[in-house]
């Protein structure tokens, strides 16, 4: 390296240190992302007021599931056939138009499905659905 013209021992830098510039760019990018997500809240509207009583409480449809082993579930709770009948009778008393769906495993004994459908028929439940799986061709 040759000595500078003024006679001093100064080092010559051939490249620029961009690390501080990148740090600043990352900080600005984070601030930009935070500001953009904070400002997108949606359109402000005045919503109508509802009554204090909940109009859409629990779902009214009851699901009866029969597993391949023959276990019967009402919604997600295991029940016996007499318990199923008593619980459905209570729900039917609260809602005369009680909708019920029956989901049975394809390997279950057919008699279990018939027993459940017999209970539903005895309780005079007319809104009944049988869940099946669509065959995709």
pLDDT averaged over the chain?
79
Task: Please state, in angstroms and rounded to a whole number, the distance separating the CA atoms of residues 78 and 130.
Answer: 19
Residues of the chain with pLDDT > 90: what percent? Answer: 16
Nearest to 73 by CA among 83, 60, 58: 83
User: Could you tell me which CATH number the domain at 62-130 has?
Assistant: 3.30.420.270
Give Cβ neighbours of residue 70 (< 8 Å, ≥ 6 apart): 108, 109, 112
User: Above 90 in pLDDT, residue 54?
Assistant: no
Which letter does DSSP use for residue 7 in this model?
Answer: S
pLDDT at 57: 54
Q: List, in sequence order, every residue forming a beta bridge with 87; answer none if it has no partner.
A: none
pLDDT at 18: 84
Which pTM was predicted?
0.55
- Exposure string for 121-137, b = 16+ CB within 10 A, e = fewer: eebebeeeeeeeeeeee
- Yes or no: say if 104 and 113 are a contact pair by the CB < 8 Å rule: yes
Q: Which helix (H) or strand (E) is 49 found in, with range? A: none
pLDDT at 52: 63
């Amino acid at each position: 390296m040759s000595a500078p013209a003024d006679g001093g021992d100064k080092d010559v830098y051939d490249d620029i240190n961009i690390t501080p510039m990148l740090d600043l760019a990352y900080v600005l990018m984070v601030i930009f992302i935070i500001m953009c997500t904070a400002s997108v809240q949606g359109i402000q509207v005045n919503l109508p007021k509802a009554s204090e009583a909940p109009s859409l409480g629990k779902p009214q449809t009851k699901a009866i599931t029969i597993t391949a082993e023959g276990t019967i579930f009402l919604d997600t709770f295991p029940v016996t056939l007499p318990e199923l009948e008593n619980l459905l009778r209570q729900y039917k008393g609260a809602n005369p138009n009680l909708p019920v769906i029956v989901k049975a495993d394809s390997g279950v004994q057919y008699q279990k499905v018939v027993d459940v459908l017999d209970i539903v028929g005895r309780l005079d439940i007319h809104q009944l659905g049988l869940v099946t799986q669509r065959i995709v061709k």
